[in-house]
Chains A and B, each alone.
Chain A
Amino acid sequence: MIKKFGIIPALAGTLFASDSAWAAKYTAWWLPDNVSTFGTQVDKTFYIILAITTVIFFLVEATLLTFLIKYRNREGQKAKFIHGHHTLEIVWTIIPAAILVWLAFYQRGSWAEIKQNFPAEKDAFVVETSGQQFEWHFNYAGPDQQFGTADDIETINQLHVPVEKPVLLKISSKDVIHSFFLPEFRLKQDAVPGLVIPAWFKPLKTGVFDVACAELCGLGHYRMRGFLNVYTQSDLDTKLSELAQETEEEDIWE
């Protein structure tokens, strides 16, 4: 078995040799490093819940085990004849209720920040995002900063965005429901045909990250993979003008 465990990462490494340097950044069996502004708060809530539930888990299971050992069937022992305890019931109702209500209120702000308070379009880098079986289409305004014009740039499975600037996505789908998932940005939003749903994030650093589909969308669901490229503003401008050039050339050929 041990042999098998060693072989698998090694195999994965050779199979994806081109990615191996990139793969090195993922080592821990845990949350991937967060690279978005609001992700910190998501992770913080996660750790708070993890702390609370871990404490409760150990308390409950330790109590359970203690009782099982202490009150196991023994000769001459008689069970207590007790039907309940009013004060205890109230205590163990109110304490969890207080914790749960506090949690509910605690995470409100973060949810609102991610899903309700979107950056203004003029302050953000806007990309129209659309899912279709089994690829992601990204549409940029192009040089004239207007959507729906001839110089719009379209990329497939490659999303190019600036670092440290809010990115506003307008997510939709052409066919079935997909789910736009940026694990490292703690962002997920279903792409629903017939709806245009906004989503936003602000990258903290440059690099290449995974774009995944998180909603079963058919047989190719597992390979509906895209890439998020985060550049500095000047690099992005270069990249976009390159793409604009290509688009123009294609238009000529058409």
Chain B
Amino acid sequence: MGSHAERKQSFISKYVFSKDHKVIGIQFLLTSFVSLLIGGALAMAIRWQLAYPWQEVPIIGKWLFPESGGTVTPEFYATLVTMHGTVMIFFVIIPFLVGAFGNFLIPLQIGARDMAFPTLNMLSYWFYVPAFIVAMTGFFVEGNAAAAGWTSYPPLSVINPQGQDFWLISILIVGSSSLMGAVNYVTTIVNMRAPGLGFFRLPMTIWALLITAILILIATPVLTAAGIMLLFDRTMGTCFFIPKGLVISGEPYAHAGGGQPLLWQHLFWFYSHPAVYIMILPAMGIASDIISTFSRKPLFGYRPMVYSICAIAGLGCIVWGHHMFQSGMNPVLGMTFMTSTMLIALPSAIKTFNWLGTLWGGKIHFTSAMCNALAFVSMFVIGGLSGIFMAATNVDIYIHDTYFIVGHIHYVLFGGSMFAIFAGIYYWFPKMFGRAMNEFWGKVHFVLTFIFFNGTFFVFHILGVGGMMRRIADATQYTYLQHLQPLNVFASISSFGLGLVQVIFVLNFFSSLFFGKRAEANHWKANTLEWADTPSPPPHGNFDVIPTVYRGPYEYSSPLVKEDWLPQSRKLAETAGAGRH
């Protein structure tokens, strides 16, 4: 152990205001569990209302909604859909992938002792926590939390009660947290790689996190600026987004002026479309690492995989208009955005084919991590293909703002990102805590989650094709939607199952912390530095001696050695520097 570990640290500076990237990563991980629980609970309430409109919510209904006799009110339904989306995107998926895995893995996988800016890193976590608290505080103010959708389109988001202010402030804080993290990631990856670790020897997780961090740096300031403008419109009487002659419930709106509601949509989607890639690129990186490791085979097409990540990020910045085909934006622009959107399906397709190529001819070990990574690939295929429907502008006219798109986003963000998060947790848990999670219960959790996930979200596509609009509290209001109600009931029952089986995961996670099988240093016989060159869990400062890197991260089943793995840092005297990368 290096001299770092000798220094005495108080509990507070070691576990609370820690500057150690590993502790910060684990802090993000545990806090995201809390947000996931809340976001999931909101989803259950949404599904209850859609399956059994205006019926009393069982058990907690009376306690939550005393005024309405235990049923979800229309006002509260709008809050539910808004806060479910907000929590899941800003406080679950991004913190899990970028916050938890980014912080934990970057220094370990590039052979650095810590991040470039440890204090900034600590701040990024301590901005995330208050942001979440502010978002939750919204539930306790008059008029409840934000209710203008997670997209917060003005003028609705301007005229809504003060919960919206809490939403905006929370987004500003969490955006700052993201920016601090991103600056740190880019600096660390560019400057602090171990000797011999060229860019084309980086694990895919690091490539994905690097490109993600660059995307965050490009896009997040735009959301922050837009958020401040909207906050000004709400509190200071400006009118960036308020057009002339606005009439609210028969009364002329006091501050109506020369604003333009569509401006918000451009600014918002300029961030929020790249944000979709912020939420999927790290998942792709994690899946690539895991699939290669458990196929015991080099990643197929390493360079095309890297170029596709870059292409997704590049194209991701010029496709935001596809959220606005029906918004009143000039229809000629629709053509431009449609073409770029069609093209962004291409790098995703290339990645999928390369994952299949990796599996081909492998020696596949079905660990819990691998099962979840494979689920990521197969579900991401559905999410990717359903995106093509929306990209076609004329089909989008019909399915825009229907459950089809809700199904699409859940196949990308749950089927994609969430399965990759599960995979990543099963895979790196031994490194984080020195014990492995239970494989049997891991697989039980995987199978049940996979079944209930599809039962819940595949149905959404059919509801959307049937014409059911998103964010409506009661589909039975419309004659043409009434016959779809059994599908809503089916989706809801599946979603309750989906929520319930997560208990298995939580129990497995926390019991494994204390009773799990002791992990070896290289628990999965993997090649990357965090497994090959440091114990589980790694000490403060990560490595005794900074390793030197001789090859790429995926030299599994190499003929040069007897074993089926060949760590990046192992020196082979006569063939030093061998390997394609």
Whether A16 lies near B78 (C-beta < 8 A) is: no
Whether A93 lies near B393 (C-beta < 8 A) is: no
Whether B381 lies near A79 (C-beta < 8 A) is: no
Most chain B CB inside 10 Å of its own CB: which residue of A85, A116, A181: A181
The answer, among B149, B328, B339, B377, for a CB contact under 8 Å with A197, is: B328
In the assembled complex, how far is the CB of residue B394 from the closest CB belonging to chain A, in whole angstroms?
A: 4
In this assembly, does B352 line the interface, its C-beta being within 8 Å of a C-beta of chain A?
A: yes
Whether B388 lies near A49 (C-beta < 8 A) is: yes
Whether A188 lies near B400 (C-beta < 8 A) is: yes
Whether A96 lies near B345 (C-beta < 8 A) is: yes
Whether B395 lies near A45 (C-beta < 8 A) is: yes
User: How many angstroms between the C-alpha atoms of A27 and B149 in the bound complex?
Assistant: 31
Stretch at the interface among B103-111, B125-133, B166-174, B355-363: B355-363
In the complex, the chain B residue whose C-beta lies closest to that of A63 is: B356
In this assembly, does B465 line the interface, its C-beta being within 8 Å of a C-beta of chain A?
A: yes
Q: A175-B246, A176-B156, A176-B159 are in contact. Are A78 and B467 (CB under 8 A)?
A: no
Q: A53-B388, A73-B363 are in contact. Are A79 and B557 (CB under 8 A)?
A: yes
User: How many angstroms between the C-alpha atoms of A195 and B335 in the bound complex?
Assistant: 21
User: How many angstroms between the C-alpha atoms of A27 and B386 in the bound complex?
Assistant: 24
In the assembled complex, how far is the CB of residue B385 from the closest CB belonging to chain A, in whole angstroms?
A: 4
Q: A26-B479, A111-B335, A217-B156 are in contact. Are A100 and B74 (CB under 8 A)?
A: no
Whether B388 lies near A103 (C-beta < 8 A) is: yes
In the complex, the chain A residue whose C-beta lies closest to that of B564 is: A79
Residue-wise interface mask of A (67-102) relative to B, using a CB-CB cutoff of 8 A (1 in contact, 0 not): 110011110011111111100110011001100110
Whether A184 lies near B338 (C-beta < 8 A) is: no
Whether B469 lies near A107 (C-beta < 8 A) is: no
In this assembly, does B332 line the interface, its C-beta being within 8 Å of a C-beta of chain A?
A: yes
Whether A214 lies near B400 (C-beta < 8 A) is: yes
The answer, among A9, A71, A187, for a CB contact under 8 Å with B363, is: A71
The answer, among A29, A78, A187, A221, for a CB contact under 8 Å with B472, is: A221
Interface size for B (C-beta < 8 A) is 115
In this assembly, does A141 line the interface, its C-beta being within 8 Å of a C-beta of chain B?
A: no
Which chain B residues lie closer than 8 Å to A57 at the CB level? Answer: 381-382, 385
Which chain A residues lie closer than 8 Å to B243 at the CB level? Answer: 193-195
User: How many angstroms between the C-alpha atoms of A49 and B396 in the bound complex?
Assistant: 12
In the assembled complex, how far is the CB of residue A218 from the closest CB belonging to chain B, in whole angstroms?
A: 6
Whether B480 lies near A26 (C-beta < 8 A) is: yes
Whether A100 lies near B153 (C-beta < 8 A) is: no
Which chain A residues lie closer than 8 Å to B260 at the CB level? Answer: 194
In this assembly, does B10 line the interface, its C-beta being within 8 Å of a C-beta of chain A?
A: no
In this assembly, does B422 line the interface, its C-beta being within 8 Å of a C-beta of chain A?
A: no
In the assembled complex, how far is the CB of residue A122 from the closest CB belonging to chain B, in whole angstroms?
A: 22
Whether B477 lies near A71 (C-beta < 8 A) is: no
Could you tell me which residues of chain B, from 486 to 526, have a CB within 8 Å of some CB in chain A? 486-487, 489-490, 493
14 more CB-based (< 8 A) A-B contacts, given A46-B398, A97-B343 = A8-B489, A64-B359, A83-B554, A85-B301, A88-B357, A89-B301, A100-B345, A104-B339, A104-B391, A107-B395, A111-B393, A177-B153, A216-B156, A218-B147
- Using a CB–CB cutoff of 8 Å, the interface residues on chain A facing chain B are 1, 4-5, 8-9, 12, 15-16, 19, 22-23, 26-27, 29-32, 41-42, 45-46, 49-50, 52-53, 56-57, 60-61, 63-64, 67-68, 71-74, 77-85, 88-89, 92-93, 96-97, 100-101, 103-104, 107-108, 110-112, 114-116, 132-133, 174-177, 179, 181, 183-184, 186-190, 192-195, 197, 210, 212-223, 225
10 contacts between A and B (CB under 8 A): A41-B394, A60-B352, A60-B356, A84-B357, A97-B343, A107-B392, A111-B331, A193-B246, A219-B77, A222-B472
